Structure 1
Amino acid sequence: MTHSDILIIGGGIAGMSAAYFLAKAGKSVTVLEREDQPGYHSTGRSAALYSETYGPKIIRKMSTASRAFFLTPPEGFSENPILSPRGIIMTAKPGEEAELDAILSEGRANGANFVELTPAELKEIIPVLHTDQIAKAAYEPDAMDIDVHALHWGFIRQFKSRGGTLVTKADVSAITRESGVWTVSLSNGASYNGDIVVNAAGAWADDIATKAGIPPLGIVPKRRTAVMVDLPADVDAHGWPLVACLDETLYFKEDAGRLLVSPADTTPTEPHDVQPEELDIAITIDRLMTTTSIEVRRPGESWAGLRSFFADGDPVSSFDPADDSFYWLAGQGGYGIQTAPAMGEYAASIITGNDVPPQMEKLGITKDALSATRPTLASGKQELQ
């Protein structure tokens, strides 16, 4: 039976980023991943973008805190750049102007670059957009596409190079604790011991907690859909930034001469190998055709992924309130890729008994904001603060 300082359950971007920083801190770490390869369910199905304007307030702060890592990753982390130029345009409907202004103000204070666009300027960049229902728009030219595979496997390689162990096909059947030591038993008969368990199981986070005898937090898996759409012959989308509605009802971006479109849906579901629903595909196409002049006769390939949410839509990164050897790293809500460097470093710092990293503290990131016991919204909806 293998003993490690820390056992991490889940080899997606959350688990592997934390594993890297923990191994870097000198801890012995074993990551247990139930699938044949890490990142199968959510990490591997993400159309990720690095932006300091996208998501709830704590996500925006964590994205800013991740900037330096993305721009200058550790030597040997990846053969290719993790980021590539894209840009993002955020559009606000009438009544949403103040929300967008608040995001721009916060972003500029943290060093992000924004350009406010008039309807005419917006139309010049994205000619197919209907601008009559857009009250305000802002362009973040420095937003970047993230090479998810390069980022994820960079963490894995760096983790392994520091002596970390990644176990795949590790389906957890039982979790027990005796004399201060956790034992995680797998369905294949293998067992692993550790002083601390990190629950980075994504959509299965509550299930893992229940197996460990820890009360679940109410982490809800939600389905998100993406659809590929062919563009008319007279529309050249090369160089377009990603376009996202502030209310998170639609985003689209050019992908190899086509459009990748999502309604940013968050449909509660049971944790499983999720597939797109016909209704969600239809909603996606309808929203695109309402927002733009693009006519879609037949959608292309589609897929879905799981995004996991805590009650208020913000992530949880803290020890369980009743057990300081069980750490929750869950509820990233679809923002796990763009915040992975900061979230991994933050988790490793707290797990190893340290405080919030200084560069994050300067941004106003606090333990309370990521605590499992913080007050949450009764509605369970995301809040753009």
Structure 2
Amino acid sequence: MIHDVAIVGAGMAGASLAAAIGPRARVLLLEAEDMPGRHATGRSAAFWSETYGGPAVQPLTTASGPALRDGGYLTPLGSLHVGRAEDDARIERLLADFAGSGVELSRVDPAAHIPGLRPEWVRGVREPSCAYIDVAALHADYLAAAKAAGAEIRTDAAVTGAGRRDGVWHLETRAGLFSARLLVDAAGAWADEVAKLAGVAPIGITPYRRTMVQLRTDPPAPEGLPHVVDIAGNFYFKPEAGGRLWLTPHDESPSAACDIAPEEWDVAVAIDRLEKVVDWRVEAVERRWAGLRSFAPDRAPVYGFDPKTPGFFWCAGQGGFGIQTAPAASAMAAALLLGEGGVPEGLDAERYGAGRFPAMR
């Protein structure tokens, strides 16, 4: 059977796109691992923030908000951007970047929101719309919707070769041979590798390691604590169930695409940075993990047909914001892929197209 669309990668990007186009196309969803979402999707820090990813990503995040709220995937959290006196320029830049965007931001005294905050942290900007996001439920629901619409989902199906003949892609995978008229690269950290297998010039999608730890602290993370992010980009932390804290040193270490693991040095750096912000004592590191966040050279996601290779569609470079943008991004990608129009209002599809890179023109 020749499928209409083969999507490589069944993480959040691939699953959401399969759900969006499933009612209108014969879809094949290929996943290299034994289960979907084992890498970036399954290792998410699980929050939704309209400022996360910057102004280029914000329209996708904001446009995704109604679907995520209506679906019950968001739980109120709130975010607080904090800084020291020397960070005034960064605070001003944050406010200027989102002025007129509809994202609510207001100056506050951070000490009023963070018990035990050390005295040098005197600048604060509140972002009340920030929320927890139920990543597992969202991903599972997309996979279920894709399957209900008739999508064929194959795991343990890493692509090992691809070629296009007579308008059809012929795919060699570890699960067998498949054919499809359109090929979507939603392979996350492996996006450029998949492109090369298909004879497509890579964009320069680079994976970066991001470390997370779960801590038990004394006192426990207080009830009502918001997501707290350093305006200088050196950490963020958020409360979790049972008074636990999720913390990252906001590291970005270039990596090969792989099953990434945390480095002990990065765990130590994370704790050191936390202790410079609050006077809480770290009692135990209960969990540690790492994920790969993959970026295009300009750090904006890539959605659209390759300008040089017919039938090859990019759905890549989602960085750390692919989950929070999934509803709007998949709707936009579906409209572009099927050529049926209907790009969500307020989104400029050309802003995310592959043709914006000089090497792709």
TM-score (ref. length: structure 1):
0.88
Q: 1:104 offset after TM fit, Å?
A: 4.4
State the identity as a percent: 37
Q: Does 1:21 align with 2:6?
A: no
Distance 2:104 2:44 in 1: 25
Aligned to 2:224: 239
- Quote the offset at 1:197 in angstroms: 0.3
Are 2:198 and 1:212 equivalent residues in the alignment? yes
Q: Distance in 1 between matches of 2:92 and 2:17?
A: 35
Q: Is 1:224–1:306's contact at 8 Å kept on the other side of the alignment?
A: yes
Q: Contact conserved, 1:223 with 1:266, CA < 8 A, in 2?
A: yes
Give the residue type in structure 2 aligned to 1:141: P
How do 1:1-385 and structure 2 match up within 5 A? 2-24=1-23, 26-73=24-71, 81-92=72-83, 93-107=87-101, 110=102, 112-118=103-109, 122-135=110-123, 137-188=124-175, 190-233=176-219, 235-256=220-241, 257-296=243-282, 298-355=284-341, 357-359=343-345, 362=346, 365-374=347-356
Q: Is the 8 A contact 1:285 1:299 kept in 2?
A: no
The separation in 2 between residues aligned to 1:334 and 1:324, in whole angstroms, is 29
Cα displacement string for residues 274-320 of structure 1 (whole angstroms, at most 9, x for unaligned residues): 00001111111111111222233653320001111111111111111
Please state whether the residue corresponding to 1:159 is helix, strand or coil.
helix
Cα contact 1:356–1:367 (8 A) shared by 2: no
Unaligned runs of 5+ in 2: none
How much has 1:324 moved relative to structure 2? 3.1
Instruction: State whether residues 94 and 134 of structure 1, in contact with CA within 8 Å, keep that contact through their aligned partners in structure 2.
Output: no
What secondary structure, in the 3-state scheme, does the structure 1 residue paired with 2:286 have? coil
Counterparts of 1:141 and 1:372, CA distance in 2: 33
Q: Distance in 2 between matches of 1:252 and 1:140?
A: 15
1:174-210 deviation per Cα after TM superposition (whole angstroms, max 9, x unaligned): 111111100111124x111111000000011111011
Contact 1:53 1:103 in 2 (8 A): no
The 3-state SS of whatever aligns with 1:265 is coil
- Aligned mates of 2:233, 2:100 — CA distance in 1: 19
Unaligned runs of 5+ in 1: 74-80, 377-385
1:316 corresponds to which letter in structure 2? Answer: V
| TM-fit CA distance, 1:339 | 0.4
Letter in 2 for 1:273: D
Conserved 8 A contact 1:316-1:329: yes
* CA distance in 1: counterparts of 2:261 and 2:221, whole angstroms: 30
How many equivalent pairs are there? 354
Q: Relative to 1, partners in 2 of residues 1:236 and 1:261: Cα closer, same or farther, differing over 3 Å?
A: closer
Any idea what the Cα deviations from partners look like across 1:115-140, whole Å, max 9, x if unmatched? 4212xxx21211122352443x2222
Q: Structure 1: which amino acid aligns with 2:32?
A: R
d(CA) in 2 for partners of 1:153, 1:269: 28
Deviation of 1:94 after TM superposition, in Å, equals 2.6
Check the 8 A contact 2:55/2:98 in 1, yes or no: no
- Asked whether the 8 Å contact 1:94–1:133 carries over to 2, the reply is no
Q: Distance in 1 between matches of 2:128 and 2:118?
A: 21
Indicate how the Cα distance of structure 1 residues 248 and 197 shifts in structure 2: closer, same or farther if over 3 A, else same: same
Distance in 1, matches of 2:22 and 2:12, equals 15
C-alpha distance in 2 between matches for 1:236 and 1:40: 28
| TM-fit CA distance, 1:246 | 2.6
CA distance in 1, matches of 2:268, 2:280: 15
CA–CA separation in structure 1 for the residues paired with 2:294 and 2:90: 26
Q: Any conservation in 1 of the 2:161–2:172 contact (CA below 8 Å)?
A: yes
Q: Deviations over 1:159-179 (max 9, x none)?
A: 111111111111211111111
Q: Would the alpha carbon gap of residues 375 and 208 (structure 1) be closer, same or farther in structure 2, given more than 3 Å must change?
A: closer
Counterpart CA distance in 2 for 1:113 and 1:126 is 20
For residue 95 of structure 1, give the secondary structure of its aligned residue in structure 2.
Answer: helix
TM superposition shift of 1:145: 0.4
Q: Is the 8 A contact 1:318 1:329 kept in 2?
A: yes
Is contact 1:356–1:366 with CA below 8 Å preserved after alignment? no
Secondary structure, in 3 states, of the residue corresponding to 1:347?
A: helix
**Contact map agreement 2:172 2:178 (CA 8 A) in 1:** yes
SS of aligned partner of 1:184? strand
CA contact (8 A) 1:56 1:314 kept: no
The 4+ residue runs of structure 1 with deviation greater than 4 A are none
DSSP-derived class of the 1:65 partner:
helix
Taking structure 2 as the reference length, the TM-score comes to 0.93
